Structure 1
Amino acid sequence: MTTRTPPEPPSAAAGIEETVPSTMTAIARDTYCPPDRLRLRELPVPAIGPGEVLVRVEAAGVDQGVWHVVTGLPYLVRAAGFGLHRPKNPVPGLDAAGRVVAVGAEVTRFRPGDEVYGTCDGSYAEYARAHQDRLAPKPARLSFAQAATVPVSGCAALRGLRDAGRLTAGQRVLVTGAGGGVGSFAVQLAKAYGAHVTGVCRTAKTERVRSLGADHVIDHTREDFTTGTGRWDLILDTAGNRPLTRLRRALTPKGTLVLVGGPGGGGAFQGMGRPIRAMLLSPFAGQRLTSLMSIEPAADLETLADLIGSGALTPALDRTYPLAEASAAIAHLRTGRPAGKLALTV
C-alpha cells in the first residue's frame, strides 16, 4: 500500500459540519422482514460519536450477511447485537466505500476528504457512520464499487485461511463456493500465500475461477470431490451444504476444515448445526474442524489493501445496482448465480 502521511488530529469541535444535510436517502425497514419489503426512505443523517467518522457513501457491498440481518435469521443474528425484537438500525448494510465528510473529536486516522473503505453502521444510505478502527484508506487502483465489495468477504477469506486455517506455503487448499463472494477472495489469497489451490464451483463459474488463479477447478455438478481420491491439507467451505463426514473424507489425516457461513435455507436456526457439531467433534478427531466468526478490523483491511496494491488481489465484481434496487440485488445474490460480488452505487 502506498505510504500515507497521517492526518493532523482534528479539533475537539470536529463533528457533523453544516455542509452535511440533515436528511438523507436510505434503504430501510422497521421490522425484520423479507428483502422485498425494503423501501427507499428519507431519514436523518446519523450523528457520530467522538471516535467515529461520517462517510459519504459512494458504493455499498451486497453479501449473504445482509440477508441475515434484514430477515433476522438465524435468531443468533439478533442476539449478536442487531436487535432482539426489531432492528436497532433501520438501515441495513455493512460494506462501504466513500469519502469522509466529518470526524469525531477523538479521531486521529482520518479527516474530511479522505477516500476510505470498510464497514459502516447502515451502509445502504447516502451517509453512514463508522468507528475509525473499522476503516482504512481506499486502495487507489480500485473504483468505489470494487472497494465496497472487499471488507466483509475479503476479511472472512483472509481470517479463514490465515487465522482459522493456519495456512502455510506449499499446502494443498480446496475452496468450495470458489466463484462466490468469499470464495473468489479465498482463491486469490491462497495463491498469494503460496498454496496449490483447487476451486469448487458450478459450471457457469469455472472460467472465472480459473481466471482468479486456481490451479485446478472442479465443477460440482459433474464431480463430487468428497468421493474421489484427492486429499487436501485445508478446506475452506463457503458453500455450507455438505455434511461434515463427507468433507472430512477429502481432508488429509491431519488436515483442517474451516466452515464459513451456513446453508442457504430460511429456518430460524439454519446455519448453526454444522459449526456446533464441528466444535464438539474436533477434540476427538485427528483433523482440525473449526468455524469462523469474521470481523473487519483496520489492520486486516490494510493487509488486503497491500495485496490489492501489489496486484495479487482484485475484487471479482459481477455487477452493480443502484441503491433503489437493493432488494433486487439481494434476490440475485441469493440465487447463487453471481460470479463474484455485487455492489450498490449510491
Structure 2
Amino acid sequence: MKAVVQDRYGGWDTLELREVERPAPAPGEVLVRVRAASVNAYDWHYLRGDPRIARLAFGLGRPRAAIRGRDFAGVVETVGAGVTGLAPGDEVYGEADGAFAEFVCVADGAVDRKPARLTFEQAAAMPLAANTALVGLRDVAKVRSGTSVLINGASGGVGTFAVQIATAYGAGVTGVCSARNAELVRSLGAGRVVDYAREDFTRSGDRYDVVLDLVGNRSLGDLRRALSPGGTLVLSGGGFYEGGSLLGPLPLFFRRRMLDAFVRERLRELPAKPRKENLAALRDLVDTGKVMPVVERTFPLSGAADAIRHLEVEHARAKIVVTV
C-alpha cells in the first residue's frame, strides 16, 4: 500500500510517499481502507519531535510510528478477533496513528460508524478535533444552558467544533480569532467575536464561566482575569511558547497544578483520548444538525507534506483534509 512515511525528525522534506506493507488487524482491531484523513497540530509536532521531551513518547532517536496522520474516515476492510458491532463494508471514522495511508489498523474502542450525512472528507475532519472540543466542554467544563463560554482560537480545527458544541449545549459563546475569520465564527453560533489584534480579552473587564484556551500564548494570570469567580479554565495542549522547544507546555501545566489548590477558579488540563462513545455522541450532534465540520482545503495523499505546511505556517482556518 502507499503511505506517507517519516524516518527522521525534521521538516516537511522528511516525509516520503512510498510503498509499505499493508497492516493486518490484531485481535480487537479493525482494518480500514482509508478514504480521507485530516491534518492536526499533532502531526507537525510529531513531524519535528517538538517539544523534545515528547520524544519520550514519540521515539527518542526517530519516530516510533513511521507513518504520519492521526484521524481518518473510510470503509472497514476486515475485523480482528473479538470485534463486534462493525463488519466489512461499514463506513467508519476514528483515530489511529498511521492514517496518511491506504489502510490503517485501529483499536475497536477508537472507531465507530461515521455520520451518514457527511462525506468521507467531512467525517475525517472530526475525530481528534471534535473529540477534544467535546471532552473539554462537556466533561471538563461541564457546560450547560446559560453558561458563558469564551473560546480562544475559535476559528481553528478544535475551535470551530467547540463553538458549535457549546452552542448546542445552550451556552452563550464568545469566540476569539482574527478579523478575517470573524464571519465564519459567527456563522457557527458565536454570539460575540473578539478580534485579538484589536482587543485583549483578558483586559476587557468581561468575565466568563468557562475559558477554553486553544492557543497557549497567554499566561495563567492573564487567562484567570477573564474568568468569573469560581469559573473554569481549560488548557488544551497550549503553552508551547512558555516551555520552548524543550519542555513545551509542561511548565504551564506544572504551575496550573500547583496553583489550582489555592484559587477559587477551577484550572484544568484537557485529556482527550479517543473513545467509541464520544464518536457516537459526535455522530448524534451531526445527525441532529447541531454540528457540521468546516473543511478549508483538501490535498491528495502525495501532498500530505504541503497539507501539514499549510496548517503550520499559513494560519489555516478550520480543518485541512488529505484525500486517499
TM-score under structure 2 length normalisation: 0.96
CA distance in 1, matches of 2:195, 2:17: 39
Task: Report whether the alignment pairs 1:205 with 2:184.
Answer: no
Give distance in 1, aligned partners of 2:60 and 2:85. 33
User: Is the aligned partner of 1:329 residue 2:317?
Assistant: no
**What does residue 19 of structure 1 align with?**
none
Seen in structure 2, the aligned counterparts of structure 1 residues 321 and 263 have a Cα distance that, compared at 3 Å, is farther
Match of 2:222 among 218, 229, 246: 246
The amino acid that maps onto 2:142 is R
Quick check: 1:108 aligned with 2:84?
A: yes
Q: Identity, % of aligned pairs?
A: 48
- CA deviations on 1:204-249 (whole Å, 9 max, x unpaired) are 1101000101010001011111111210000000011011111111
The aligned amino acid for 1:145 is E
C-alpha RMSD of matched pairs (Å): 1.3
Aligned partners of 1:84, 1:211: CA distance in 2, in Å?
43
Contact kept, 8 Å, 1:28 with 1:41, in 2: the verdict is yes
**Which amino acid in the other structure matches residue 228 of structure 1?**
S
**Secondary structure of 1:125's match?**
coil
Question: Counterpart of 2:97?
Answer: 121
CA distance in 2, matches of 1:334, 1:88: 22
Quick check: 294-303 or 264-273, which moved more? 264-273
CA distance in 1, matches of 2:265, 2:7: 44
Matches within 5 A, 1:1-346: 24-80=1-57, 82-263=58-239, 267-335=245-313, 337-346=315-324
After superposition, the Cα gap between the structure-2 partners of 1:336 and 1:253, relative to the gap in structure 1 and judged at 3 Å, is: farther
Structure 2: state its 5+ residue gaps.
none
Structure 1 spans left out of the alignment, 5+ residues: 1-23
Contact 1:262 1:272 in 2 (8 A): no
| Amino acid in the other structure paired with 1:289 | L
Figure out how many residues of one structure are paired with residues of the other and give that number: 322
Deviation at 1:328, TM superposition (A): 1.0
Return structure 1 stretches of 4+ with deviation > 3 angstroms: 263-266
Partner Cα distance (2:52, 2:199) in 1: 35
What is the TM-score normalised by the length of structure 1?
Answer: 0.90
Q: Distance in 1 between matches of 2:253 and 2:144?
A: 23
Instruction: After TM superposition, give the deviation of residue 75 of structure 1 in Å.
Output: 3.2
Distance 1:213 1:146, change over 3 A: same
Q: 8 Å contact 1:170–1:194 — kept in the other structure?
A: yes
Deviations 1:269-328 (A, max 9, x none): 122222221111111011111111211100000000000000000011111111111111
CA distance in 1, matches of 2:296, 2:73: 17
Q: Is the 8 Å Cα contact of residues 101 and 113 (structure 1) preserved in structure 2?
A: yes
